[in-house]
Amino acid sequence: MTLKEALKLSPEEIAQVREALAQKIAQSDLNAYVALDMAGSGIPIAIKDNIQVQGWSVTSGSKILKGYIAPYNATVIEKLHAAGLSPFGRTNMDEFAMGSTTESSCYGRTLNPHNKGCVPGGSSGGSAAAVAGGLAIAALGSDTGGSIRQPAAFCGIVGLKPTYGRVSRYGLGAYASSLDQIGPMTQNVEDAALLYDIICGHDPKDSTSADIAYAPTAPNLSANRKLTVAILPKYVEGASEAVRAGYTKAISALKAAGHTIVERELLDPKYDISAYYITATAEATTNLARYDGIRYGARVEGDNLKDTFIRTRSEGFGDEVKRRIMLGNFVLSSGYYDAYYVKAQKVRQLIKHEYETIFQEVDLILSPVAPSTAYPFGALEDPLTMYLSDIYTISVNLAGLPSIALPVDRDAQGLPVGMQLIGRAYDEQTVLDGAYSLELQLKTQE
C-alpha cells in the first residue's frame, strides 16, 4: 500500500493497516525497527531513531542515549500529526547517523531485504529496509552526506533530500548542523512528494529554516515537463560496472521521455571528501559534546568529574563516533583551524559555485548515488574506504541542494541500482518532476 492510497482510507481501515503492519514487523528478521513505539492512530510512518517523538526513547542508535525519553516532538512530527499521519516504530540507523551501512548501530545490523547478506546502506538503513521490505508505508530519514539517498539506492526505494532549510531540523538529533536535513523515504516518487509537502515549511524554532514561499509539490507533480539534464561522464568513471550500466540506462530513459541531455563536469570528488569530513566532524564533535552523562543518558561514574566524562563517553560511544569526534577536535585545534576548517569552507564555496554555474544552463544533474550496489556486511571495515564510498552524495549536502534517489536498474545479483537527480536550491518541484518522469519511463520500458 502506498502513502497515496493510505491517505484515502477511513480510520477503521487505517487501524487494520496498522494492525497488519505491526504483525508483519514482529515476524520480520530484517531488524529494520529497533522498537515498535507508537504515537497517535493515524497513517503509520516509520521514524528514524534520531527524530524526537514525545514519550519515545529516541537514541540515535547509540548506547549513550539508552533510556533517554524525548520530552518533546520534532517539528516534522507535529506536522505528521497535523496531517493525520502517526509515528509508528523507530527505525535502525548508524550511531548518530555516522556511517553508510547501519552496522554501527548499538541495536545490531539491519539486513537488506533484497539480499540478507548485504548491508541496507546507511545511515537511514532501517527506514530504507522497512519501506523496501514492505514493513512501512513510508518513512522519515535524515541525510547529512547521503544518509537518505544511499540506503534508498541500496534498497531500491525513493529517497528525497530536500534543500537545506526546507524541512525544520528542530528535533533532529544533530550530526552536522549545516548539512543535516530530514526527508521522506517512500515506495515511489509521488509518495515522496506527498510526504515532503507534509513535513516542509518555515519553522521559527529552526533559525536556518528558509523563510520563503512553500508551494505544494504533489498537486503539481508533472512527468510532462521537458527538462535539460546534465550528465557527468568523467565523474562516473570510478563507479562499478553495474552502476555505470544503470547510469546509461537512466540517460536513455530520460532521452526517451523527451528530456535534453547535456554533458558537464564536476570538481574532482576528492575535494568533496576532504571538505565534507572536516566540516561534518567539526560540527559533530560539538553537537555530541552534550552527551556527557550529566543530565541524561547512560552515565558511567568515575573517580572524579573528568573521569566520569571520560568513562561515560568511552563506554557510551562506538568506534566510528569516537573516530569522528577525534577528527573534529583535531581540525578545530588551535594551529590547525586555518589549515583545515577554514580551507574546507573555501572548498565548500567553490563546490556551491560550481553547481550554481551548471544550474544556470540545466534543470537537473543526473549522478550515481554510490559507486557500487549494496555490498556484503563487513566489506567496508576500513574507515577510509567507507568515507570514499560517499563521493557521489556529499557535495549535494555541502552545496545544500535538493536531490532525489530512485531505483533505475538491478545488478547481476538482483540488487537495486539507484540514481539521483540533483536540482537547484528550493526547486524540489523540478527534482520531483524529473524523477517522476524517469520513474514512469522506466516502468513503460519494462
Please list the active-site residues: 48, 123, 147
Any contact of residue 171 with other proteins (CB under 8 A)? Answer: yes
CA angle 338, 344, 348 (to 5 degrees): 140
Within 254-273, the residues that bind other proteins by CB under 8 A are: none
d(CA 391, CA 368): 10
| In the complex, least distance from residue 107 CB atom to other proteins, rounded to whole angstroms | 17
> Interface with other proteins by CB under 8 A: which range of 45-53, 123-131, 265-273, 421-429?
45-53
d(CA 349, CA 337): 17
By beta-carbon proximity to other proteins, the closer residue of 26 and 69 is 69
Q: Which of 261, 332, 350, 379 binds other proteins (CB under 8 A)?
A: 332
DSSP-assigned letter for residue 238 = G
Any contact of residue 144 with other proteins (CB under 8 A)? Answer: no
User: Amino acid identity, residue 3?
Assistant: L
Q: Which of 309, 378, 323, 329 is nearest to 64 (CA)?
A: 309
Any contact of residue 317 with other proteins (CB under 8 A)? Answer: no
d(CA 362, CA 265): 13
| In the complex, least distance from residue 134 CB atom to other proteins, rounded to whole angstroms | 29
| In the complex, least distance from residue 446 CB atom to other proteins, rounded to whole angstroms | 41
Within 50-89, the residues that bind other proteins by CB under 8 A are: 50-52, 58, 60, 65, 68, 70-72, 74
How many residues are present in the chain? Answer: 446
d(CA 64, CA 318): 9
Any contact of residue 147 with other proteins (CB under 8 A)? Answer: no
| In the complex, least distance from residue 331 CB atom to other proteins, rounded to whole angstroms | 9
d(CA 129, CA 61): 16
Any contact of residue 329 with other proteins (CB under 8 A)? Answer: yes
Contacting residues for 439 by C-beta, under 8 A, at least 6 apart? 158, 188, 189, 406
| In the complex, least distance from residue 65 CB atom to other proteins, rounded to whole angstroms | 7
Any contact of residue 173 with other proteins (CB under 8 A)? Answer: yes
Residues 91 and 36: beta-carbon distance below 8 Å: no
Any contact of residue 10 with other proteins (CB under 8 A)? Answer: no
> Interface with other proteins by CB under 8 A: which range of 79-87, 98-106, 163-171, 359-367?
163-171
Any contact of residue 349 with other proteins (CB under 8 A)? Answer: no
Residues 376 and 247: beta-carbon distance below 8 Å: no
Question: Residue 336 corresponds to which cell in the numbers above?
Answer: 590547525
Q: Which of 41, 66, 337, 376 binds other proteins (CB under 8 A)?
A: 337
By beta-carbon proximity to other proteins, the closer residue of 392 and 426 is 426
d(CA 154, CA 126): 12
By beta-carbon proximity to other proteins, the closer residue of 265 and 301 is 301
Handedness of CA 202, 208, 210, 216 (dihedral sign): negative
Q: Which of 289, 278, 384 is nearest to 338 (CA)?
A: 278
To the nearest 10 degrees (0 to 180), the angle between helices 428-445 and 189-199 is 160
Question: Residue 27 corresponds to which cell in the numbers above?
Answer: 515476524
Tell me the three state secondary structure of residue 368: strand
By beta-carbon proximity to other proteins, the closer residue of 337 and 443 is 337
> Interface with other proteins by CB under 8 A: which range of 9-17, 155-163, 164-172, 225-233?
164-172
By beta-carbon proximity to other proteins, the closer residue of 248 and 308 is 308
By beta-carbon proximity to other proteins, the closer residue of 18 and 169 is 169
Tell me the three state secondary structure of residue 88: strand
Query: Hey, how many other C-beta atoms are within 10 angstroms of the C-beta on 204?
Result: 10
| In the complex, least distance from residue 356 CB atom to other proteins, rounded to whole angstroms | 20
Any contact of residue 162 with other proteins (CB under 8 A)? Answer: no
By beta-carbon proximity to other proteins, the closer residue of 179 and 435 is 179
* Helix (H) or strand (E) run with residue 281 in it: helix 269-287
> Interface with other proteins by CB under 8 A: which range of 5-13, 173-181, 191-199, 256-264?
173-181
Q: Which of 247, 273, 308 is nearest to 389 (CA)?
A: 273
Q: Which of 214, 309, 377, 387 binds other proteins (CB under 8 A)?
A: 309
Within 278-307, the residues that bind other proteins by CB under 8 A are: 282-283, 285-286, 289-290, 292, 294-296, 305-306
| In the complex, least distance from residue 227 CB atom to other proteins, rounded to whole angstroms | 32
**Number of chain positions touching other proteins (CB under 8 A):** 44
Contacting residues for 444 by C-beta, under 8 A, at least 6 apart? none
- Residues in touch with other proteins (CB under 8 A): 50-52, 58, 60, 65, 68, 70-72, 74, 169-174, 176-178, 204-208, 282-283, 285-286, 289-290, 292, 294-296, 305-306, 309, 329, 332-334, 337, 341
